[in-house]
Amino acid sequence: MSTLSTAPLQPVPFGTHHDDNTPAYADLHTHSGILVGTAGSGLTNLTQQMLVPLVNSDDTLVWVLGTSRTADFVRPWLAPWALDHGPEAPADPPLDWVASSEGHSDVLLRAADRIIEARQAEPFGTFPSIVIIAIEPGELPGELLAGLERIQRTGRVSGVRVLSSTALPPVATRGLLRSAHVRISMASVDHERHTSIHQARVPDVDDAEPIQSVAFYRQGAKVRRVRVARMLPQTIDQTARTATKHPAFGPGDLAALGQPYTERWANALPEVFPGAEDAQLHGPL
């Protein structure tokens, strides 16, 4: 079986438990996951919170895909690297690959398939973990959504995980939900959907607490209520400037990824920063 980076794989903190103030963790190093909310539910905030420890990890590379709204999600993470030409600009981006259109998401998914296949053919290799964050995956065409579901099912032993973030109706992402071990729902989700997500009773929400700061996840047989802190723009900016210690792909991975990986930023940055002629556009990395 393929092994991951020799660095310790740590679970991802995303809030504090309401009942005892202890940290809540999601194990995205060994499982894929799904975050479910509604418009204005705090879903984007939760997704950003989970990104902080992932981009600060020295054993994990983060890829982000989706349609046009993905550009809005990743823009503050890439701006310090892509737009800041000063001496404090980070040398590397905190995200390893971004695809914010159907075409480029297809390219990324095909690369993920190739890297999974290559790692399965090298059973004793050591590889960095990859977490693919899918922003509203239900907006992807059917064949791309099916590809994402396939990667979620097959990528585990090769160190490739999927974390989906969705506020769309459940029919759009039921395949991803079915194979997601980590399941977190925002408090605004209706009771019936909470139950279908967690297959257990969900605690009541305190009316005095802002609904955008409350999430639920299942720990063992119990669904626990979690308080999610608000992500501030300056936190993203600071993290993007300092989270530059990332693992490197080995020759086998790079051969599987091929030219699309080499050209990823030349393709991504014009979509994320349209019309920004002064964008740093690092070019092929």
Q: Which residue segments constitute the domains of the chain, with CATH numbers given?
A: 3-12+28-184+242-270 (3.40.50)
Nearest to 160, CA basis, from 189, 191, 137, 129? 129
> pLDDT by residue for the chain (285 residues), tens digit each?
444 443 445 788 899 998 899 999 998 878 899 999 988 889 999 999 999 999 998 889 999 999 999 999 999 999 999 988 788 888 899 999 999 999 999 999 999 999 999 999 886 678 899 999 999 999 999 999 999 999 999 998 899 999 999 987 777 788 999 889 999 999 888 888 888 898 888 877 766 566 668 999 987 778 899 999 888 989 999 999 998 788 999 999 999 999 999 999 999 999 999 877 655 555 434
Angle at 104 between CA 101 and CA 105, to 5 degrees: 80
pLDDT at 281: 57
| Structure-token pair, residue 192 | 């019936």
Q: Within a 10 A sphere around the Cβ of 116, how many other Cβ atoms? A: 22
The pTM score is 0.91
Q: Are 187 and 197 in contact (CB under 8 A)?
A: no
Contact of 112 with 120, CB cutoff 8 Å: no
Collapsed DSSP state (helix, strand, coil) of residue 41: coil
Residue among 189, 140, 211, 196 nearest 38 (CA): 189
Query: How many other C-beta atoms can be found within 10 angstroms of the C-beta atom of residue 230?
Result: 12
